[in-house]
Structure formats: C-alpha cells, structure tokens
Structure 1
Amino acid sequence: MSNEYEITIKQQKGRIDKVLAEIIPDKTRSAIQLWIKDGYVLVNDEAVKTNYKVQAGDEIKITEPELQELDVVAENIPLEIVYQDQDVVVINKPQGMVVHPSAGHPNGTLVNALLYHIHDLSGINGKIRPGIVHRIDKDTSGLLMVAKNDLAHEKLAAQLKDKTSIREYVALVHGVIPHEKGTIDAPLGRSKLDRKKQDIVDGGRDAVTHFRVLERFKDFTLVSLTLETGRTHQIRVHMKYIGYPVAGDPVYGPRKTLPGNGQFLHAKKLGFKHPKNNEMMVFEKEIPEIFEETLNKLRNISE
C-alpha cells in the first residue's frame, strides 16, 4: 500500500525537490525528483517540474508509488549459523555481505542465504526482509539475530526498542583516545549535505553510544562499544563526531587509512531473552582474521 502525503507550505523556500527532501523523512532528493517527473507530486492540484519554487500557501499532494517487489530467490551461499532452534537463529555475518536485497544488491545477500539454509522465517518484514529483526552494515562483520516466526520477531524487536538486548562491538579507530571510557549522546539524521549519509543533526533521532578503550597503538585505538540505540551508521558517525573515525571506513573515515575490506568494526557480542522461555542467551564471536592480523601488525609497530 502506497503512502500519501499532504503538505502545506508555510515558510519554506526554494526548489520543491529540495524542500520535500527536508520535510519527508528517509526519502532522498533523487527519489523525490523521480516522483515529480512521473506525476506523483501535485502542487495546488497541478503537476510541476523539479525546479518549481515553492510559495507560502502551496498545497502539495504526494502519492508515493508502490515499490516493485524484487524476486528474492534462495541462494546456496555459505552461512555461519552460530545458534538455531524453532524460534531464533543467530548468524555471524561476514564482512562484505549485504543483509537484505535492494535495487543495488538484488542477490548475494544474507536474506538470499537464509532462504536456502532456513525454510521457516518470520514474515513481519515482508518478502525482502524475512526474519530480519535488525541489520548491520555491509562491511561490518558479526552477530545478528533472525526470527523464525512472527511471535519471536515481535518479542525480539520489543527488546531492541526497550534497550534490554545486548549489542557490543569492537572497532579500531584513528587516533589515540586519552581517556578510558566515554558516552556519545548526539542525535542522528540524514545529512543535509549528502542525503546518502547520516550526520549529527538538531532534531534528529536520539542516539547513544558508550565506548571503552581496550588497547592503544601508535596512531590507533581499539575500543569496545555498546549501543543504547540502533540508528543507521550510529557507531561510524559518532566516532567521527568525536574525532576518532573508524579505520577503513570508506564513507566517514579519512582516505589515508589501513588496508582492508571496509571498516574495522565487528559485532562481537549479542544477548537477548529467548522469545519463548525468557531465558537470557548471550553469544560472542571473535574478530575476523583480517582484523586480528591488522592488530598484530600495529602491535609490532608500537613495540
């Protein structure tokens, strides 16, 4: 079912595509431009061009086009299943694997692999995200939980919302952090300069990250991070915000960084209450080999 928006312009000024991108959450300017070109956006009941300048009192009606469902097929992709029962699966996702299909990644995703290895998954998030309760970025490795039925999905999602689940990450960051621990409490939202990025923005969604120093090197620091909230790119944006971007991060980190396959960020620990018996379950997975090799090289340099 498509979304419909009715917006009255009060004080906003400028091109309609730019104004709507600022008003409508989680929609890129390029997507809105396509809506306008395809006639899904009406101003005072008339179609306009993308360079139309909004005026006070304009009545804008938008009928968001329905997304075309991707053909999600089961693929025999190797998958490390850490735990599985009738309700829950815990996966150790490798670095470089996208969690669910999208226009840019129609196959080769975790969902494609899940459909092959596991034949009963929650349908709450639809065909594109069956069983997916939460996600981690493509180039972040580590643990995530998958629901095998709708009741399990609802209970696991509630734990994420209530902040009762455990999610601990390990990251290698640029710079030497002088203090032993800290908390980053800074709201996140879509960047006004680059709609594909997240940023610290006034009025953004609450985001809290706790960190603790594990080891210091010549120009880097290994940290443990605990999420209180789970916003998109939260750790990566928060660490950049305090001046210690994640090493290898192609989006938020410096160009001159450590060689690897993306950011040195690993979801090491995952804990939750089992959706059926309420028993606390905690899983841990050590960092991938390339991460460990990089740490050993830094230790040799620091000696």
Structure 2
Amino acid sequence: MTKFNWRYSGNGPQRVRTFLMAHGVTRTLLKKIKFHDGRIMVNGKDQLANYMLSPDDLLTLVLPPEPNNDHVEASFAPIQIVYEDEHFLVVNKPPFLATVPNHNHADDTLVNRVKGYYLSRHYQNLKIHVVTRLDKDTSGMVIFAKHHLAHSVLDKQLKDHSIVKMYLTIVKGTFPFQHGEIDLPIGRADDSFVKRCVRDDGKPSRTEFWVLNANNDYSLLKVRLHTGRTHQIRVHLSALKRPLIGDWLYNPTNHDLNRQALHCYYLKFYNPFTNQEVICKSPLPDDMQAVIWQKI
C-alpha cells in the first residue's frame, strides 16, 4: 500500500481535487483511485474528490494497487544503480541493451532487469514505470518511477522541460566556436520508419552544446536536450555535418566505434516527496574513453 499525507495550510477552503492535482495527481490517477480501491481521506474519514478542505485538515491519499506487468519477463542480470529511494530508481544502462521490450528484444532489456531487481528485493509494487528512455546503442542513465504518482510528477517535469539531461558525445569534425544551439524542427524521414530528419513540418526541437575538446578531425561535446525528440542529438549534429562517430544510421561510413558515441552522464530532477533536487552522474564508458585517448 502506497500512502501519502499532506497538511492543508491554505487560508480558505479548497477542493480535494484541486489540492491533489497541484501535487501531481492526474485526472487519470483520480479515476483509478475512485474505481480501483484507492482511498481519499480527510482527518481519517473517507471523502470524495469534490470535498472542500479547511485549513489544517490532514489529507491522506492511498494509491490503488498496481497490476503486475505479467507480460514482462524478469531478467536477473545485474543492473548498476546510480540512485534509489522509495519513489525513484536511476539505473546506468550499458550500450547494446534496449530500454524496453520489443519484438527483437523481449526477455533481456533494462525493463526486464529492473523487474528482476524488484522481485529479488521483494518489492510490493512490481509495475515498471519507465520515465526516460535511451536508444539501444546509447549508454547512460534512465529514470524509473516506483509508483503511479511518482511517474505522474516526473511526466509533468518532462513536459515542462524541467528535467535536465546532459550527454557526452564524440563527433566527426570541429567547430569555430565553443558553444552553440541548434533550433531545427525534426520529423520522420519519408523513406524510413526509423530514421528522422530536419524538415519544415517537423516538431520544434532545440539542442544546446559545448565543445570540451577537439583536434583537427574530432570533437568531444557536452550536450543538453531542451526537447525530447527521437534521435534528436544524432539528427541535429548530422544536420550540421558533424555526425556522431559510430552512428550506423546517420554516419554509416564511420567505423571508429561500434555504436553511436553518445552517453547520458548527468540528470537532475525534482523530488516533490522530499522537496529536494536529485542530481545523478555517470562516468563515461570505456569504449568512448578509448576513442578520446586515441583520437582527441
């Protein structure tokens, strides 16, 4: 049972629904609470979402039990945990591991491994909530939420672009400046289901980058995503004629690395349950380190 308590400190009456939605409870979750054995209590008594709170009332929210992901097989391969509390889990994903199951990777993805971890720790809630994702060949940190409300609050932060995601990447080519922003719309390429491209009718997309090191042929960049489009970093840098090394889709003739040189090394998000920012860092993996030593 996942339970939350809040003391209402407003000066006048307020509906329970309004209060809860300000704390990240979505309309979808309110419906699940109402129809799937959740509870809303004020001062220990069950109430409906339209109940009017008075100053100093104690509001208790009990989330409904979440169904197990029965279609997700558990994998007990190890995971590298960067951060964990009762609400969130941040895992460092190695390259060549898919984040979520699909028809090509059904039994051993990061989601499968997290489910195995939950089972080994005997966690009550086995529903796997993936908040952020990475391409199979991209390494770095992925955020999981441990319950529906934690997922809802981070989903809102994603939509508000308040989750900070920073990447390290190695590209072919150099820049005549140390800092830049790419503001180009991205959409699906006409000739491919997978590939994306810059196109006028695409979705607004913004990428910021800093040059950390460079020689005549390669550059090491720090990159921040301000939007979250599919393949955004890969597409934007390719559009600048500075494609990621090892990127089979956008730089197919380069073989300096056997995957795209992209690593999510920094995450920052707000934990509303503790009123604290969570900052996570992940070191650059060995394969990218080796290329830096050899090329830059």
TM-score, shorter chain, exceeding 0.5: yes
Which of 261, 267, 272 lines up with 1:270 in the alignment? 267
Kindly state the Cα deviation for residue 194 of structure 1 after the two structures are TM-superposed: 1.5
- Report the alpha carbon displacement of residue 107 of structure 1 after superposing the two structures with TM: 1.7
The code of the aligned residue for 2:71 comes to D
| C-alpha distance in structure 1 between counterparts of 2:215 and 2:160, whole Å | 36
- Contact 2:74/2:107, CA 8 A, preserved across alignment: no
- How far apart, in 1, do the equivalents of 2:270 and 2:231 lie? 25
8 Å contact kept, 2:115–2:126: no
Aligned residue for 2:114, secondary structure, equals helix
Letter in 2 for 1:238: H
- TM-score, normalised by the number of residues in structure 1: 0.71
The aligned amino acid for 1:111 is V
Instruction: Show structure 2 runs of 5+ residues with no match.
Output: 1-68
Alignment check: 8 A CA contact 1:188 1:231 kept: yes
> Is 2:246 aligned against 1:225?
no
State the partner residue of 2:203.
205
Residue in structure 1 matching 2:284, options 283, 287, 298: 287
How far has the Cα of 1:272 moved from its partner?
Answer: 0.2
SS of alignment partner, residue 137 of structure 1: coil
Query: Any unmatched runs of 5+ in structure 1?
Result: 1-68, 124-129
- What residue in structure 1 maps to residue 4 of structure 2? none
Partner of 1:169: 167
* SS of residue in 1 equivalent to 2:71: coil
Q: Distance in 1 between matches of 2:175 and 2:126?
A: 42
Report the RMSD for the aligned CA atoms in angstroms: 1.6
Q: Is 1:71 the counterpart of 2:100 in the alignment?
A: no
Alpha-carbon offset, residue 70 of structure 1: 8.7
2:235 aligned counterpart, secondary structure: helix
Identity %: 35
Shift of 1:283: 0.8
Which one-letter code corresponds to 2:258 in the other structure?
N
- TM-score normalised according to structure 2 size: 0.73
Helix, strand or coil at the partner of 1:179: coil
Which whole-Å CA distance do the structure 2 matches of 1:256 and 1:250 have between them?
Answer: 8
In structure 1, distance between residues paired with 2:241 and 2:261? 16
Whether contact under 8 Å (1:176, 1:217) holds in the other structure is yes
Q: How does 1:1-303 map to 2 (within 5 A)?
A: 71-118=71-118, 119=123, 123=127, 130-258=128-256, 260-299=257-296
- Report if the CA contact (8 A) 1:87-1:275 is conserved: no
Q: CA deviation at 1:195?
A: 2.1
Kindly indicate whether the alpha-carbon contact (under 8 Å) linking 2:162 and 2:269 is maintained by their aligned counterparts in 1: yes
Alignment CA distance shift 1:251-1:121 (3 Å): farther
Q: Give distance in 1, aligned partners of 2:194 and 2:149.
A: 33
**Where has structure 1 moved over 4 Å in runs of 4 or more?**
120-123
Q: What is residue 32 of structure 1 aligned with on the other side?
A: none
SS in 1 for 2:74: coil
